[in-house]
Amino acid sequence: MAFIEVHDLVKEYKVNIRNKGLIGSIKSLLIPEYTMKSAVDGINFTIEEGETVGFIGPNGAGKSTTVKMLTGILVPTSGSITIGGLSPYKDRKLNTAKLGVVFGQRSQLWWDLPVIDTFDLLKYIYKIPENIHKSNIEHFSEILGLDEFIKQPVRQLSLGQRMRAEIAASLLHNPEIIFFDEPTIGLDVVAKEKIREFVKFINKERNTTMLFTTHDMVDIEKTCDRMIIIDHGKKIYDGTVEEIKDTYGGNRILSVEFGQNYENILMSGLELIEEKGNKKHFKFAKDDFQVSYLIQKLSQQYEILDITVQEPEIDGIIREIYQGGIKLNESLSGVC
């Protein structure tokens, strides 16, 4: 039996319908009308211990609802969830002791008190043995550089510092599973990188199961072995990031800066997509043409100052999938 098992998970919400206009508002106030909207519509998956899984999907796709049900603060309309043999909502108290949560937009730190005070409180909340608590704080301080601000009130911290403190706080009790909900939202590149590295390190070191929801594909690429795409409450993909990239990221962009402004550069395999004076961008299929061949051909005919090749961006591919531009191919192992 897998560590996390989810079967036919369904969640329906009662949604209040408001009529438009003044009369409509008053009518809605007196006679409320409701419809049922399904946020999650029959999702299945299993996750093994120590796996890192990223949930992605457009806003309103049902990711957060799924995660909320996994943490036990939301009861499914139907279907079942077990985490380590327990039901997250029926055994909520028991379950919460084993899990950690990091919400990018919600803080669990005491706003007016120094970070260390919240750490202290968590020791009592989770009944963490003194020696583990102490060694964890030392360990995390070292890697995340908490020392410089651990004695400052949380409200005075920068967002990057606060997130580092949040993540340390949610790991103090050595949880078996951690939920990250947009952990890097609003952070600068350096802070993002620091957090990703730390998360990866903890996963390796402690074999902690980790679940992410994020809109940042770099988060997923760098930290997750596996990606689950959810859209309209249904799972549409469950597999590796690489597979999607290899299948749909077949095009490369070749950017060339020419010595002079050539008109109508024609070469088989290269498709002009953008030009700015001497600088031109071409698209080519990497499986049909070798880069070295294209460069050689170009340099024989034209004077070239600079040349760069761009990788496919996973962001672009995912955007295409959301917008329906890419229909996931049945032959992919992860397609549902």
Partner 1 sequence: MRVYLEFAKKSFQNSIVYRMDYFAGVINAIVMILVNIYIWKAIYEEEAAIEGVQFKIIVTYIIISFLMQMVYMMDEYFIENKVRSGLISMDMLKPIHFRWYVFSYNIGTVVFRLLLQFTPAIIVSIFLFNLLGPFSVLYFSYFLLSAVLGYLVLYNLNFIVWISSFWFYWTFSLVTIKDAAVMILSGAMIPLWFMPEWLVDFIKLTPFDAIFYIPIRVYLGMVPEQEILSALFRQVMWIFILFLIGQLLWKAATKKLVVQGG
Closest CA to 40 of 81, 71, 94, 76: 76
Residue 213 lies near partner 1 (rule: CB under 8 A): no
Binding mask 131-170 for partner 1 (x = CB under 8 A): ----------------------x-----------------
Question: Cβ of residue 120: shortest distance to partner 1, in angstroms?
Answer: 8
Query: In whole angstroms, what is the distance from residue 295 CA to residue 301 CA?
Result: 10
* Binding test (CB under 8 A) with partner 1, winner from 74, 137, 146, 177: 74
* Binding test (CB under 8 A) with partner 1, winner from 17, 26, 73, 272: 73
Binding mask 76-95 for partner 1 (x = CB under 8 A): -------------x--xxx-
- The footprint of partner 1 on residues 6-35 (CB under 8 A) is 13-14
Residue 3 lies near partner 1 (rule: CB under 8 A): no
Count CB-CB contacts under 10 A for residue 44.
13
Question: Cβ of residue 96: shortest distance to partner 1, in angstroms?
Answer: 5
Q: What are phi and psi of 31, to 5 degrees?
A: -120, 85
Residue 107 lies near partner 1 (rule: CB under 8 A): yes
* Binding test (CB under 8 A) with partner 1, winner from 54, 57, 62, 72: 72
Half-sphere exposure of 11 (CA within 13 A, CB side): 26
180 beta partners: 102, 212
Residue 126 or 282 having the CB closest to partner 1: 126
Count CB-CB contacts under 10 A for residue 151.
11
Residue 20 or 106 having the CB closest to partner 1: 106
* Binding test (CB under 8 A) with partner 1, winner from 19, 46, 96, 141: 96
Question: Cβ of residue 129: shortest distance to partner 1, in angstroms?
Answer: 13
Which residue reads 């290899």 in tokens? 246
Residue 65 lies near partner 1 (rule: CB under 8 A): yes
Q: What is the longest distance spanned by two Cα atoms in the chain?
A: 78
Count CB-CB contacts under 10 A for residue 88.
26
3-state SS assignment for residue 313:
coil
Would strands 271-276 and 279-285 be described as parallel, antiparallel, or unpaired?
A: antiparallel
Q: Which of 204-230 are b and which e, b meaning 16 or more Cβ less than 10 Å from the residue's Cβ?
A: eeeebbbbbbbbbbbbbbebbebbbbb
Residues that bind partner 1 (CB under 8 A): 13-14, 65, 68, 71-75, 89, 92-94, 96-97, 99, 101, 103, 106-108, 110, 112-113, 117, 120-121, 124-127, 153
